[in-house]
A and B are shown apart, each in its own frame.
Chain A
Amino acid sequence: MGALPDMWRVELWHPLVVHLPIGVLIFGVLAWLAGAMTNPGGPRGFLRPAARLALSVGTAGAWLAVYTGDLADAEVVRTLCDPTVVERHENLAWICAITFTVATVLEFVRGVTGLSRGLRLALRVVIALGLCLGIALLGYVGHLGAKLVYQQGAAVYHPSEMCTEFE
């Protein structure tokens, strides 16, 4: 009778950390877009700082997900039937993390006092485009991750036919 595999094996660190940045970045983008349409001094003035916090936490989490994804790749790539999916998943995740990093840094730059009105407006447009690009990439990267798990069983343990390891 085989033993059940450990739940702390290295390829499971990635699913442990990846869902937080997905949720927080989606929230951050929505909060930023809503904040851009409201008066910062009004009752919804909390949206802009909330968006900054969410984008900062989400971006840090995205890089942690990229790192743990690299670790998981080394463990599971030999078991995949189509490793090209994991390559695309990795490459686009990296681009997604860069996009959110640049957009988040620019959002903080936008908050610096002394910038001209025109520059602020230009930054706002660039950030909006970056966040829209980032969220699209995030969705597609997540879709590729789901394909790896639900079509190829990446990092998934397959119980024995009689489930004796659970007895």
Chain B
Amino acid sequence: MALSGSALIGCEKPSGSDAEEHAVVESGTYEGTIKKVNADEKEIYVDANGQELELYFIDETTLTKGGQPAEFGVLEQGQKVEVEIKKVGKRLDPISVTILE
């Protein structure tokens, strides 16, 4: 009961970033750091100025590194990225992801 009580007051599902409720931001371009990469679901979590963005790659998402197209597998935790996001309802679709370093 204490465990579930503590979960209710903030210590949530202990499986990483996917346990948190993520920020919903307006369409635009954001810079941030990758907190987690989920290769199975082609999904990244980006910390952009304290807001954690959960981004599921879609068919239209482009990924570039050094000006060249890159595969999803090059993404790593801690990388600085610039993401162009389109807000659809409250869903954030990444249009482009650029690895900055």
Contacts and interface: CB of A to CB of B under 8 A. Distances in A.
State whether these chains interact.
yes
Interface of A: 74, 77-78, 80-84, 87-88, 90-91, 94-95, 98-99, 102-103, 106, 126, 129-130, 133
A75 B20 CA distance: 19
Contacts of B58: 78
Listed from nearest, the 7 A-B pairs whose CB atoms lie closest are: A81-B89, A99-B4, A82-B90, A98-B4, A94-B13, A95-B7, A87-B21
Contacts of A90: 13, 19
B40 A91 contact: no
Contacts of A82: 89-91
A83 B54 contact: yes
Contacts of B21: 84, 87-88, 91
Nearest to A133: B4
A78 B56 contact: yes
Contact of A83 (B7, B12, B90): B90
Contacts of A126: 1
B61 to A, nearest CB: 11
Interface of B: 1, 3-4, 7-8, 12-13, 19-22, 24, 40-41, 54, 56, 58, 88-91
18 contacts: A74-B41, A77-B41, A77-B56, A83-B54, A84-B21, A84-B22, A84-B24, A84-B90, A87-B20, A87-B22, A90-B19, A91-B12, A91-B19, A94-B13, A99-B1, A106-B1, A126-B1, A129-B1
B9 to A, nearest CB: 11
A76 to B, nearest CB: 11
Nearest to A87: B21
Given A80-B91, A91-B12, 12 more contacts: A78-B58, A80-B89, A83-B54, A83-B90, A84-B22, A87-B20, A91-B13, A95-B4, A95-B8, A98-B3, A98-B7, A106-B1
A55 to B, nearest CB: 14
Contacts of A91: 12-13, 19, 21
A105 B8 CA distance: 19
Contacts of B20: 87
A78 B70 CA distance: 22
| Residue with the greatest number of chain A CB neighbours at <10 A, chosen from B1, B41, B58 | B1
